[in-house]
Amino acid sequence: MSRNTALSRSLVLIWILTGPLPNLDAAEINGTYIIQTVQTNRVIRVQPQFPFQLKSATRGENWLDDPANQFVISPIPGGGGHYVFSKSTQQYIFLDATDRILKSGAQVDDGSMRFTLEGPADSLRLRVQANQLVWHEDGTNDQLISTRFGVEDNFTVFKLIPVSGTPNPGGGGQGSGLRPIGASSSNPHPSMAAFVNPDQSLDVAWRSTDGKIFVSTYSAPDYRLVRQIAVENSLGLFGGYTKDENGIGYLLTARPEQLGVNGDDGMQRNAWLRRPNVLHLLRIPPGGESQFFVDLNQESIYQTWGIYNPMQTGANITSRLAYGSGSVVASFAHNIPGGGHMHTTGTLIGVSPTGTSTYAKGAGNHSMSNQVWFDGINFVQIQEGDQGILMSRLIPAGNGQWSWSGDKLVYRHASAEPLADPSAPDPISDLEEFVRFGSVQNAGPNYMILFSRKQGQGFVYGLKDQEWLGQVSGAGLCITLVPRANFEALPTFQWPQNPVGPGIVTREIRTPQGTNNYVRPRLVDMNDGTYVAVFEEWATNQQYLQTLAMRIDANGQTLAGPIVLNGNPRIQRAADSFRIGGQAGWIAGDGQNRRMMLHTLDASLNLRSYPLSLQ
């Protein structure tokens, strides 16, 4: 196929999915757009970690649905140019005067975040009012968008591709243009969470590509849409969803802020303070709309720190919400400053259905990924820490209160060794293994954690800020079995010592052929002593290949499979699996068809898929 033919087909695809490309004048530009470079045909996106720079990138499989590629461009009220607003970070774009690179996270409405648009939408220049220079793609080197070069050449011309959805920040309504975030997205923030109701109907809380959050309910057994509400009081990021025994829903939402560490402006110097509207728990009564419930950034709810950058501390930070025994528990990570660095701490917060604290002391240790699950008695948290997988429990303490067990190191990275000199610098060897865990379940007398790993990678912390890496090859599927009885008696983790307690067993239960990797593992308890494991297989270049499933026993021994599932039923990143109608289930976004999918497997690994429609 010639390059021109490929480009023509690409433009036809854009026309089908988003409508024809209007040749708007600058004054008419007002909506959500993908910004494409004319010279290289790349799309501009926000880098997923601090300092959130703008960079051009080759269009991936999910490029139309990925919020990192989407920008709201809106006229400044009263005239004077346009604002550019990132849909992934929910922040305005500005020019950083120190390095002259365009970034997300403007704090002051001045000339650095005001842009003059010159030319029609298919051959546009964006001029920064602060220095009167135009956006420029470094098309041959780092591909950053900046004004470093001070020239107006072919690398300063861009094309706007309109995206269906909300036309401006805070603009509203549901509308037929809604799209869930597609399953091919590697966005670490939860984009959807399912809750199975007692009658086996299904609630799905989900975030659309335009940043709005919705809760949709589907009837059993046909999973038809029966109700959908817009969460109008969201703070921007979606963190998790659960329900109590009275059918009241709870939704975790966070402000997508990007505060720095060294106090170089007023907002950052006050980052320790108990600021409102940073992390909220919302309440959704049966048949009702979402209501503000609890501000979690107050000392009576969370005693240890003031929260900033919640769920925004790195590209692998995840969060969860769980309910059990009269308590709603949030598991998430946020930043704390220390030693001139941006430290990430994982934490737990518990709140009763009346809004009072049930656990306020948080947790501890660095967290690169975390989740929480109610085991029927305790809340169980697992985190990816510096030296391996950390596990802890919230235990009933009487009078509606809970106590924390402390973190237990239940899986140690292969190269994580105790320091001979505890005062020495942090050893790189702590992080020389690539781990991505998927699920934890009760398994007889144990907890079973399912995860994928690749040893001996020589990684350091910063390189863990991606879902997967091109150089990772041969990542296998593993389980760790942790005794549930006397869990609190296991050694408490305290860096740099790293003992793994007695009775804990880890083994690889499936190894891919060649250089492929097993990714996004999920585990479902079938309630008969067996478990269904579902996972994707990716090539070394991060290309999705296929989805597989197998059935195992409580010791991780294979009972059936693995088999390749027909139709490539994708697994959504950061969305948990569940048991529904006696079968293993998981959900995934299908952005191109503006729907979600429910996939189920019976004990014989027979697949059935249900399209979940949207209003």
116: domain CATH number? 2.80.10.50
Q: Are residues 28 and 129 in the same domain?
A: yes
Give 519's strand partners: 536
Residue 182 lies in a domain: no
0.85 surpassed by pTM = no
Residue 181 lies in a domain: no
Kindly list the averaged pLDDT for each block of 10 residues, start to end, along the chain of length 615. 36 35 62 91 85 86 80 84 87 91 84 91 91 90 90 92 52 54 82 97 94 95 96 93 98 83 49 82 96 96 87 69 98 74 80 98 84 97 86 97 96 61 43 75 98 65 49 86 96 77 94 91 98 94 91 98 97 95 97 93 98 94
State the total domains in the chain: 2
Residue 588 lies in a domain: yes
What string of DSSP letters covers 415-456?
T----SSTTSPPPGGGG-EEEEEEEEEEETTEEEEEEEEEE-
What local confidence, expressed as pLDDT, does residue 79 receive? 77
Q: Are 253 and 292 in contact (CB under 8 A)?
A: no
CA–CA gap between residue 542 and residue 573 (Å, rounded): 14
Q: Are residues 365 and 453 in the same domain?
A: yes
Residue 118's CB is within 10 A of a number of other CB atoms, namely 15
- Tokens standing for residue 610: 């249900």
Residue 7 lies in a domain: no
Residue 177 lies in a domain: no
**Domain assignment of residue 590, given as a range:** 192-612
Which stretches of 261-377 are DSSP H helices? 266-269
Q: Are residues 58 and 100 in the same domain?
A: yes
What local confidence, expressed as pLDDT, does residue 423 receive? 44
Q: Are residues 219 and 134 in the same domain?
A: no
Which residue matches tokens 């309440």?
Answer: 283
Q: Are residues 445 and 508 in the same domain?
A: yes
Residue 568 lies in a domain: yes
| ∠ Cα 238 223 188 (to 5°) | 25
Residue 4 lies in a domain: no
Q: Are 346 and 364 in contact (CB under 8 A)?
A: yes
| ∠ Cα 319 323 324 (to 5°) | 140
CA–CA gap between residue 403 and residue 398 (Å, rounded): 9
What local confidence, expressed as pLDDT, does residue 265 receive? 43
Q: Are residues 139 and 220 in the same domain?
A: no
What local confidence, expressed as pLDDT, does residue 9 receive? 36
Q: Are 174 and 214 in contact (CB under 8 A)?
A: yes
Q: What is the CATH number of the domain that holds 346?
A: 2.130.10
Cis omega before residue 562 (within 30°)?
A: yes
What local confidence, expressed as pLDDT, does residue 128 receive? 96
Which residue matches tokens 């249900």?
Answer: 610
DSSP state of 518: E
What local confidence, expressed as pLDDT, does residue 437 receive? 82
